[in-house]
Structure 1
Amino acid sequence: MHIGFLLPEYPHKKITTACAGIGTSSKNIILGILKENHQVSVFIYGQDCTEIIKEGNLTIHKIKKNQFKYFGFYLYRKQLNTYINKIISEDKIDLLEAVDWTGITAFMKFKIPHVLRLHGTDAFFCNLDKRPQSKKNYFFEKVAYKNATAVIGVSDFVLQLSNKIFKVEKIGTVIPNGLFFETIPTHTDVIVKENTILYFGSIIRKKGILELAAIFNKVILERPDTKLSFLGIDVPDVQTKTSTLGLFKDLLSAEALTNFEYLGVVPYNELTKVIAKTQICVFPSLAESFGMVTIEAMYLKKAIVNTNYSWAKEIIKNEETGLLEDPKNHDGFASKIIQLLDDKSLCKKIGERAHKEVVENFSIKIITTKNITFYKKNIANEV
């Protein structure tokens, strides 16, 4: 079987464009497929040059973004479509997978099945943020969504809400993101620092960062020795166009600011070491489709306080594999953090259960089997 992927990003030394959650989770999927001895072709659009990189059963196509005086949004898609169809024919690709973000496959036609993996469209996040979306973006995403052979939701929440937003009932299935456990350093020899809290991931409003400022202010009032650290990229705020990290720090009390540290962006091995050293991880996200950081922290046996919104409930069993609370309930979220700070035994129990949950349900081996089964059904036109 030969599967193609159309992506805006992919982590590779020859690809210099920034890579975030879509690229990382897509790479896990692709490595899982390659491990089962299938072929994969990855098409990365928006690149500075066109280049083909071959690595065994993996072929990476960097596709240059040409500049057009008018109708670039349409003409570049047609350029991509022509290039991909040529490779589909030459290399006998059986199925193409694309991401839902920006509706890149709008106006494209393929002779093979093409599926969308739903990580969350701009329309999806605008809906959760309760902010307007440009009509053009909505149109592109709806056309791409409607024309897809089928869809894969990384959570049932994103699948159901996408159908509702676009007013289209797509045939789909839920296949969550997975982890390659063998690539995750566990750092079992590190000593956990008491009274430490960590948030890692994009520092952006929709992840509940500004809510976390109010929450940490309340934690500090009750437990003044508590330290909070951030790891991740500081994303310009969508409303103020300024640093989200700066907005967060402005909301901290003097005492909380003293006990806060921004650690920046670090290599993955260093990231996992920081996680292992921390007593509690917090993820107060307001808008999410899945949450890779959550399962990473769970695998590393961390006690977690997470949002109680729908996507989190598909990952965490409240009071068993983590604690769930509405991030806008600052008192409630802070009390859950304090509960864990005061009970190391509970942290250990939750961490052990969380690890077991991830191993049993989010192994890339399990996820790969689900993906391959879904691909085969679509190739055979059985869905």
Structure 2
Amino acid sequence: MHICFVTNEFPKKGFPHGGIGSFVKTLAVTLVKNGVRVSVVGINYTPENETQNIEGINVYRLKRSKLKGLSWFFNSRAINSKIKEIHQQNPIQIIESSELGLAFLSKIKEIKYIIRLHGGHHFFAESEKRKINRWKGFQEKRSFKKSDAFIAISYYVKNHTEKYLSYNSKPVAYISNPVDTLFFKPRENKSEYKNRIVFAGTVCEKKGVRQLIQSFPFVKKEFPDATLEIYGRDWFFPDGSSYIKMLKENEIPQLGEFAKDVHFNGLVSYNDIPQIYADASVCVFPSHMETQGLVAPEAMAMQKTVVFTKYGPGPEAIEDFITGLLCDPHNPKDIAEKIIWVLSDPVKAKMMADNALDFACEKYGLDNIVLQNINVYKNIVVT
């Protein structure tokens, strides 16, 4: 079987990438280990054509068009041409993309086309209470019409997407994003950190970072030695201004004497994340919205106690007070109460972390998830 992923986000050293890129890399590497041929086609981060074989994956990064107003046309034409070339050399059975990815692809009769629902334009427009961009909305609808099947990474993203977009009576499978449980696994806390609160992810409003900072004074009153460690890349407003700078100017001064114990650690290497989780007393991800979210299951797979959002797919990832804690991400006091609960009762928190490890390995374990994907691919090919 030959699977071709269409994405511009496949990880490249020295360049930031999103969750879709991480997902494709993790899944693709394991598909190759299971005897599946995998290609990845997308537009390059740099103005050149580039071909690499990365852990058995054939990655084709195409030169980006800079022609204003028509770049979408020339970029799509380049992707179509490369797919046709690959298919002639080694026939492709499945092409997979995210929600907008099929809009301008020319379908090849022998190939089945799949959209994986990571959370598209309509989904996030609803969750962020903003208007649909007509151009992106058009692309997404066009893309959905071309798809032969869909894979949803959570029931939540499936149900909320279909409020706005039709699956056109095509099959919809449900498969969680995988966690590499050989990489994210329990490890020793090498440091002497105590009452260390850790957040990892893009530092932006929808990840709940502002409310997490606002919760910190409540925690400090109970645990004066607590620290808040924030790891992740900055987000920028449409005018180019920094979200972290806004937090430092508007939120951090409100903390008074506690401000010195909030640390912005910036973007860190993916390879460093497991140790960052290992050194945490509690991992807190109070997202306003997620499609599934990988940071919570990754920390759970490391046997850490996690506070996650009660909204969206939060209850699919965590059973409250059994495998972790769910919080109201818009309520700083509620976030603080959940953090305080964890720090106040390490015995119960450890039991919860043990449950989280078992749950994460069963639900998100890479080998199990890959087999689910292969079975879905095979079923789609024969239909």
Please give the TM-score of this superposition, normalised by the length of structure 1.
0.92
Q: State the partner residue of 2:284.
A: 282
Give the root-mean-square deviation of aligned CA atoms.
2.0
Q: State the partner residue of 1:335.
A: 337
Q: State the partner residue of 1:223.
A: 223
Alignment of 1:186-201 (within 5 A): 186-188=186-188, 190-191=190-191, 193-201=193-201
Return the offset for 1:276: 0.6
Q: State the partner residue of 1:51.
A: 50
Return the offset for 1:300: 1.1
Q: Is the 8 A contact 2:291 2:312 kept in 1?
A: no
Residue in structure 1 matching 2:107, options 110, 124, 128:
110
- Counterparts of 2:130 and 2:352, CA distance in 1: 36
Distance change (3 Å), C-alpha of 1:350 and 1:69:
closer
Percent of aligned positions with the same letter in both sequences? 28
Specify the SS of the correspondent of 1:59. Answer: strand
Residue in structure 2 matching 1:37, options 35, 38, 48:
35
Distance change (3 Å), C-alpha of 1:191 and 1:46:
closer
Q: State the partner residue of 2:149.
A: 150
Specify the SS of the correspondent of 1:282. Answer: strand
Specify the SS of the correspondent of 1:193. Answer: coil
Q: State the partner residue of 1:128.
A: 127
Return the offset for 1:12: 4.0
- Counterparts of 1:320 and 1:192, CA distance in 2: 27
Specify the SS of the correspondent of 1:160. Answer: helix
Return the offset for 1:175: 0.7
Return the offset for 1:358: 0.9
Return the offset for 1:136: 0.8
Specify the SS of the correspondent of 2:6. Answer: strand
Alignment of 1:2-17 (within 5 A): 2-13=2-13, 17=15
- Counterparts of 1:280 and 1:225, CA distance in 2: 14
Specify the SS of the correspondent of 1:107. Answer: coil
Distance change (3 Å), C-alpha of 1:6 and 1:326:
same
Specify the SS of the correspondent of 2:125. Answer: helix
Q: Is the 8 A contact 2:329 2:335 kept in 1?
A: yes
Specify the SS of the correspondent of 2:295. Answer: helix
Q: Is the 8 A contact 2:29 2:55 kept in 1?
A: no
Q: Deviations over 1:138-187 (max 9, x none)?
A: 11112112221111111111111111122445521111111222233643
Return the offset for 1:282: 0.4
Specify the SS of the correspondent of 2:247. Answer: helix
Return the offset for 1:88: 1.6
Q: Is the 8 A contact 1:38 1:57 kept in 2?
A: no
Return the offset for 1:43: 0.7
- Counterparts of 2:136 and 2:216, CA distance in 1: 36
Q: State the partner residue of 1:24.
A: 22
* Structure 1 portions without partners, runs of 5+: none
Specify the SS of the correspondent of 2:164. Answer: helix
Q: State the partner residue of 1:172.
A: 172
Distance change (3 Å), C-alpha of 1:351 and 1:192:
farther
Q: Deviations over 1:178-228 (max 9, x none)?
A: 122223364325256321100011111111112212222332234332210
| Counterpart amino acid of residue 366 in structure 2 | I
Matched, 1:355 2:357: yes
Q: State the partner residue of 1:202.
A: 202
- Counterparts of 2:370 and 2:267, CA distance in 1: 29
Q: Is the 8 A contact 1:6 1:45 kept in 2?
A: no
Q: Deviations over 1:111-150 (max 9, x none)?
A: 2111011111132212111122321111111211222111
Deviates more, 1:244-253 or 1:85-94: 244-253
Q: Deviations over 1:15-53 (max 9, x none)?
A: x54222111111111012111111111112244212222
Please give the TM-score of this superposition, normalised by the length of structure 2.
0.92
* Structure 2 portions without partners, runs of 5+: none
Q: Is the 8 A contact 1:9 1:17 kept in 2?
A: no
Q: Is the 8 A contact 1:186 1:273 kept in 2?
A: no
- Counterparts of 2:245 and 2:57, CA distance in 1: 41
Q: How many residue pairs are counted as aligned between the two chains?
A: 376
Q: Is the 8 A contact 1:7 1:98 kept in 2?
A: yes
| Counterpart amino acid of residue 112 in structure 2 | P
Q: Is the 8 A contact 1:85 1:110 kept in 2?
A: no
Return the offset for 1:347: 1.7
- Counterparts of 2:54 and 2:190, CA distance in 1: 36
Deviates more, 1:16-25 or 1:365-374: 16-25
Distance change (3 Å), C-alpha of 1:134 and 1:56:
closer
Q: Is the 8 A contact 1:286 1:327 kept in 2?
A: yes
Q: Deviations over 1:294-320 (max 9, x none)?
A: 111101111111110131111111110
Deviates more, 1:334-343 or 1:56-65: 56-65
- Counterparts of 2:233 and 2:15, CA distance in 1: 14
